[in-house]
Structure 1
Amino acid sequence: MAQLKIKDYEHILDLVTAVLQNGDPDASWHLISRELFTVMRANTVIMARMCPSGRTGVAEAWAPEWLGREVGELLRRRLQQGHPLIPYLQAREHSPRRMTDLCETWRKSAWYNDALRTYGTKQQLGVPLPGEPGGLRAIVFGREGEFGERDFAFACRVQPLLMAVDNHLRELRRLRAAVGADSPVGDIGLTPREATVLGLLAEGLTTEAIGRRLAISPHTVNRHLEKVYRKLGANNRVTATARARAAGLVG
């Protein structure tokens, strides 16, 4: 596999920073799509959630913005056409794949002609994401030119980050739903990540368990907890949890 350059890792760090600084979990995937659109030099980026049994599909995010006008119809066509990424995802395969690796006749297929006609793209690269029961999820990049070894290496490197982000956003939505929309989390200056860690702390999870849930190291969890304690005026988890409950920050 091709070696990534320092600039590629800088892009990954920029992506992490953008996600953690964004306070709206529902807008995070659009932000990620825009970042990846630039980094991958893509023509299109579509984050798709598909249900093959019902032949339905929903775009969770996309870039550029104008794709939103017809991306839903595009996903339905892909399901009807039996796009090669679908059986790959159904087999619970996890590695990123170029469509030319999955289909020897890609350039003669209806999928290729449809993408070329609609978006001017000739090559596609799919990055699987965790799906729900009966559903499939992936980010699909489209480009007029080929996806080279550097692009494939970057997709493989960034995939674990995207899976961790997906887990983080799920936890953030769940905790916000449990706390309620009127929680004063922002009033004391908690970042979305700190609020997530605080919520898991209040559920009784250990530092190691929080790290496993959010796919971060215990050291990183402790750094977040230090900031949470300082903002709550606490010096241990018992006091922090009690003050957070009294302030309505956690259930």
Structure 2
Amino acid sequence: MAAQLRTRDYGQMLDLVVAVLENENVDSVWHVISRELLDSLGCDSATFSEVLLSEGTGTVRGWAPDELSTVVDGLVQRRIRQRHPLLDYGLSEQAPVNIADICDGWRNTAWYEEARRDFGVTQQVGVPLACEDGKMCVALIGRRGDFTPHDLAFLTRIQPVIRTMASHVYELKRLRSAVAPVPSCDLTPREATVLGLLAEGLTAAAIARRLAISPHTVNRHLERIYRKLGTNNRVSTLVVARAEGLVA
């Protein structure tokens, strides 16, 4: 029988979403997610990595605790050279998995020794997030001790939430690279993302698909944008937004 999640678990998932959506610095979002996971699971380490399999390289995009900043440089390249089992696993499977379950002789491997030495952990759970166009995104959650069925159930349920947050961050970062937001504007990062996609000609349904949310949620964001910009339709909203430098 699958482990049952508690009301508190869903509250922690909501806390993660709020922390990401209220975060103004898109470059620190993966660190925010890492810290939230550590707090929710009571673990000791978390890293989010982007792996370019065809090139044999990649980067660690976020980690917690902050002390890991001294050991993450070159981490992805080492894991590729060592053929970390999560890389092969993520090519065909998406479910969160205990690394010991997909790795024979886990405690005799180079990555186990490094995990214990550098991260202070003896068990790790891998969470594949995406694998497309030769690019893989994965999370590694570590703990001094075993993970429970409840932990795996929590990660399974929060996995699509993290994917949605990743879509939000990608679009927000892309839009901000084109136009810097006006400091005096009261739009939240999520509203700025929706406004930017609106300016690109996307319908509410298309914005919903891009951000992995419902059209109803998009329309709620649009209503708040109209109110903050003093407009009442899409055309006037884009006129004001362009005049204020909010969109290209």
Instruction: Output the TM-score relative to the length of structure 1.
Output: 0.92
Aligned-partner Cα distance in 1 for 2:69–2:144: 20
Q: In the aligned structure 2, how far is the partner of 1:19 from the partner of 1:114?
A: 30
Cα deviation for residue 226 of structure 1 reads: 0.7
**Residue deviations 1:148-173 (CA, integer Å, cap 9, x gap):** 11100010111101100110011001
Worse overlay, 3-12 or 74-83: 74-83
Name 1:205's counterpart in structure 2: 202
Q: Which residue of 1 aligns with 2:68?
A: 67
| RMSD (Å) for aligned C-alpha atoms | 1.6
1:153 aligns with 2:141: no
Deviations 1:164-221 (A, max 9, x none): 0110011001111222x3x31x422011100111111122211111111111111111
Give me the identity figure in percent. Answer: 51
Give the Cα separation in 2 of the matches to 1:106 and 1:36. Answer: 24
Question: Post-superposition shift, 1:228?
Answer: 0.3
Structure-2 separation of matches of 1:198 and 1:129 = 26
Q: CA–CA distance in 2 between the matches of 1:27 and 1:116?
A: 26
Deviation at 1:53, TM superposition (A): 4.2
Cross-structure match for 1:241: 238
Counterpart position of 2:123: 123
Q: Which amino acid aligns with 1:160?
A: P
Amino acid aligned to 2:24? G
Q: Distance in 1 between matches of 2:13 and 2:53?
A: 32
The AA in structure 2 aligned to 1:221 is V
Pairs aligned (count): 247
Distance 1:194 1:114 in 2: 42
Is 1:57 matched with 2:54? no
Compute the displacement of 1:25 (Å): 0.8
Separation in 2, partners of 1:143, 1:214: 32
Q: Find 1:214's aligned residue among 196, 203, 211.
A: 211
Supply the AA of the counterpart residue of 2:67.
Answer: W
State the AA in 2 paired with 1:198: L
Q: Which residue of 1 is the match for residue 164 of structure 2?
A: 164
Q: What is the Cα deviation at residue 113 of structure 1?
A: 2.7
The one-character-per-residue Cα deviations of 1:105-148 (angstroms, maximum 9, x if unpaired) are 22333322332233331111111122563332211001111111
Which ranges of 4 or more aligned residues in structure 1 deviate by more than 4 Å?
none
* Cα distance in structure 1, aligned partners of 2:25 and 2:93: 30
Greater shift in the superposed pair: 116-125 or 222-231: 116-125
Which is further off, 112-121 or 136-145?
Answer: 112-121
How many Å separate the matches in 2 of 1:135 and 1:188? 35
3-state secondary structure, aligned to 1:140:
strand
Find the aligned partners of 1:74 and 1:236 in 2 and give their Cα distance: 49
Unpaired runs of at least 5, structure 2: none
Cα separation, 2, equivalents of 1:50 and 1:147: 25
TM-score, with structure 2 as normaliser: 0.93
Structure 1: unaligned runs, 5 residues or longer: none
Shift of 1:11: 0.3
Task: Tell me the distance in 1 between the aligned counterparts of 2:162 and 2:53.
Answer: 23
- The amino acid that maps onto 1:22 is N
Deviations 1:74-106 (A, max 9, x none): 3333222111111112x2422211112212322
Are 1:84 and 2:85 an aligned pair?
A: yes
1:231 and 2:228 are equivalent in the alignment: yes
On the 8 A contact 1:48/1:57 being kept in 2, the answer is: yes
Give yes or no for contact 1:57–1:72 (8 Å, CA) kept in 2: no
Report the counterpart of residue 141 of structure 1 in structure 2.
141
Segment drifting more, 101-110 vs 151-160: 101-110
